[in-house]
Structure 1
């Protein structure tokens, strides 16, 4: 666990904590104060623009991708960033041929809406979408594995559910996919930064996520990890000049880049990468073991307080089955979420009230939040 002085120093890096009880990190992570210096430097760069600046921007973009790779337990050159997860997932799906027997895309009914929307679009090219129904708050791994067969090209599932906070046990899914020759893509947007993720240990082929939630980064920064052995076989159709082997020759590309950059598009979004490096560095310094321990402590307190008050907890209770958010449901919860946020007890609502504490939050903040929630719940029931 973190020393108290170290924790206070970490809290000081996030100004929003001084003005609110901020438990909305599953929706938008708190922004570190170091981001202001990044924005000031970028404005000065634009104000005094010279084309030589491209060299540093290009280096910074690659540096962030490799820092992300290290955070994920992946080698340099295996991560690429772009504006969002949907863009990267769509580009990844253009790498495959859907005209043969192996053309099924297997997913679940618990995915963030972007995922089935993107996958369904490839039906026009011959893909067959298979949606596995969930079992209450969580996906049943046995049912999911049963849907993966020799006709499956890609399994695309969330590590942590956005609506319930439930964690999927990826190990049996990866084993089943390997056994039948299918690939596995994991949406880790709701887990990276609050749940330890080691892509090598997980054995996944692709992992997608973004910076603006638990990684406390920019809204415009999605990322994609590709298992290095697969890179030579991936030839995206939806691409751009930065994906070429040597883009700065400014000639027609004849080959893709050797690393994950082959899944880039056009001119990269460099400012989001620079912004996102600030939060990533802070979390990397704390370490995922400490982050996970603090998260489980805080979410356990939310669950205990909810149980005491008779509030329905949608999120699985077992530590190994929950990510970083606790989802609560009760009559009037949408109005309560709105009232809480107006009072400075910041949470979110997606069909139920979501509470997402992070490593910089405290048990005292959780208790104050739950006190306010129960007070507003009583008002909503009048």
Structure 2
């Protein structure tokens, strides 16, 4: 039993999957309440449905906007980071892409690379992927800068890598990109909700993210944030009645884009992910995030120390200023990752692996007891392997 009187693990003390799905105390109960209220409203035989549903969507947008200090009317909902990036690319003026280069690092989220490689021919750009150095776990910022010249029409930066938790130097990279005249986007998925991001201070042209991870929301709760000066030049090809300033302007020969981020909307918006995620975003907004980050850093230090004792090579930076909220380690060939995960699961510790890379992300429900169980298992696996 845990100190709370719950069976070990049910209190989330050993939950280390915030790079995948975020959890917070009372999440399941809060989602049940929110979705039950939605069902009650949506199933009522009256005319209150859309006011409620679109209000929940707007609440989702407002909470994300506050988190990112986004300019008014610069953030909207998407299904995921892939659809967000696709919407942005399809909306840019042709001169930003045609005959030019799109730059991305080799440790970006693979889905985004799949998208870009598939769009290159249609939109007339060449995709330049900055490779990892031999034996490295992440792409070095200096290699990104070396590959980034004035021919780059668009660069997508991964703030924190999902495979190493390496955090790039956004300030230096964006300053370099401004000198090249590129459109600059940032995927903030693996840090948003743990490490502060100020869209106005950082100054990227657009941001993509999801609510799944440190934000503790539901699948389908993606966001696209675009700075107003960029929005003014965008004409999304995927458009519909919600892309207009007045969505009830139904003259089929008189379409005009909304003047703000709403032009990136299209048909009737999906709202279920917003409804399911609002409780998490509201919980999140009420927390002491300096304290949460400090606790994460303390736990990460202990995980790195255990990896060192076990003889597992780190696949994450030691310097917390160069790292997100996760610690990744490379298991030796003699130790099968599935066996480690099974041993961890037997102690109600939940992590995952990508090949030989074990990924551990202590978050809002993780406790010292859970970290102690993790370190014990890692050392036992090393000694028995």
State the TM-score, normalizing by the size of structure 2.
0.89
CA contact (8 A) 1:101 1:151 kept: no
Taking the aligned partners of 1:316 and 1:133, their CA distance within structure 2 comes to: 18
Deviation at 1:358, TM superposition (A): 0.9
1:121 to 113, 118, 121: 118
| Superimposed CA distance per residue, residues 113-163 of structure 1 (whole angstroms, 9 cap, x where no aligned partner) | 111111112222211111111241222112211222221111012100001
Which aligned pairs between 1:223-262 and structure 2 lie closer than 5 A? 223-252=223-252, 254-262=255-263
Q: Which residue of 1 aligns with 2:90?
A: 94
1:359 maps onto 2:364 in alignment: yes
Q: Cα gap change, 1:229/1:289 in structure 2, threshold over 3 Å: closer, same or farther?
A: farther
1:28 to 12, 21, 25: 21
CA contact (8 A) 2:101 2:152 kept: yes
Deviation at 1:102, TM superposition (A): 5.7
| Superimposed CA distance per residue, residues 301-344 of structure 1 (whole angstroms, 9 cap, x where no aligned partner) | 11112212222211110010110111122131233124423552
CA contact (8 A) 2:100 2:152 kept: yes
SS in 2 for 1:69: helix
Farther off after superposition, 61-70 or 96-105: 96-105
1:219 maps onto 2:219 in alignment: yes
1:306 maps onto 2:307 in alignment: yes
Structure 1: 5+ residue stretches without partners: 1-7
CA contact (8 A) 1:70 1:76 kept: no
| Superimposed CA distance per residue, residues 335-374 of structure 1 (whole angstroms, 9 cap, x where no aligned partner) | 3124423552111112211101113322222111221333
CA contact (8 A) 1:221 1:272 kept: yes
SS in 2 for 1:247: coil
Q: Which residue of 1 aligns with 2:321?
A: 320
SS in 2 for 1:186: strand
Taking the aligned partners of 2:300 and 2:315, their CA distance within structure 1 comes to: 13
CA contact (8 A) 1:220 1:272 kept: yes
Taking the aligned partners of 1:258 and 1:343, their CA distance within structure 2 comes to: 54
Deviation at 1:288, TM superposition (A): 3.0
Taking the aligned partners of 1:19 and 1:108, their CA distance within structure 2 comes to: 34
CA contact (8 A) 2:149 2:180 kept: yes
1:138 maps onto 2:143 in alignment: no
CA contact (8 A) 2:93 2:234 kept: no
CA contact (8 A) 1:138 1:167 kept: no
State the TM-score, normalizing by the size of structure 1.
0.90
Which aligned pairs between 1:158-237 and structure 2 lie closer than 5 A? 158-237=158-237
Deviation at 1:20, TM superposition (A): 6.0
Taking the aligned partners of 1:154 and 1:49, their CA distance within structure 2 comes to: 49
Deviation at 1:43, TM superposition (A): 1.9
1:373 maps onto 2:378 in alignment: yes
Taking the aligned partners of 1:377 and 1:134, their CA distance within structure 2 comes to: 28
Which of structure 1's runs of 4+ aligned residues deviate more than 4 A?
97-102, 376-379
Structure 2: 5+ residue stretches without partners: none
Q: Cα gap change, 1:17/1:290 in structure 2, threshold over 3 Å: closer, same or farther?
A: farther
Deviation at 1:249, TM superposition (A): 3.5
SS in 2 for 1:286: coil
Taking the aligned partners of 1:202 and 1:185, their CA distance within structure 2 comes to: 11
Taking the aligned partners of 1:280 and 1:264, their CA distance within structure 2 comes to: 21
Q: Which residue of 2 aligns with 1:335?
A: 339
Farther off after superposition, 70-79 or 356-365: 356-365
Q: Which residue of 1 aligns with 2:276?
A: 275
How many residue pairs get aligned? The number is 369
CA contact (8 A) 1:91 1:239 kept: no
CA contact (8 A) 2:99 2:126 kept: no
Taking the aligned partners of 2:243 and 2:383, their CA distance within structure 1 comes to: 56
CA contact (8 A) 2:104 2:128 kept: yes
Deviation at 1:274, TM superposition (A): 1.8
Q: Which residue of 2 aligns with 1:52?
A: 48
Taking the aligned partners of 2:240 and 2:234, their CA distance within structure 1 comes to: 14
Taking the aligned partners of 2:203 and 2:310, their CA distance within structure 1 comes to: 41
Farther off after superposition, 244-253 or 25-34: 244-253
Taking the aligned partners of 2:215 and 2:236, their CA distance within structure 1 comes to: 28
Deviation at 1:66, TM superposition (A): 1.8
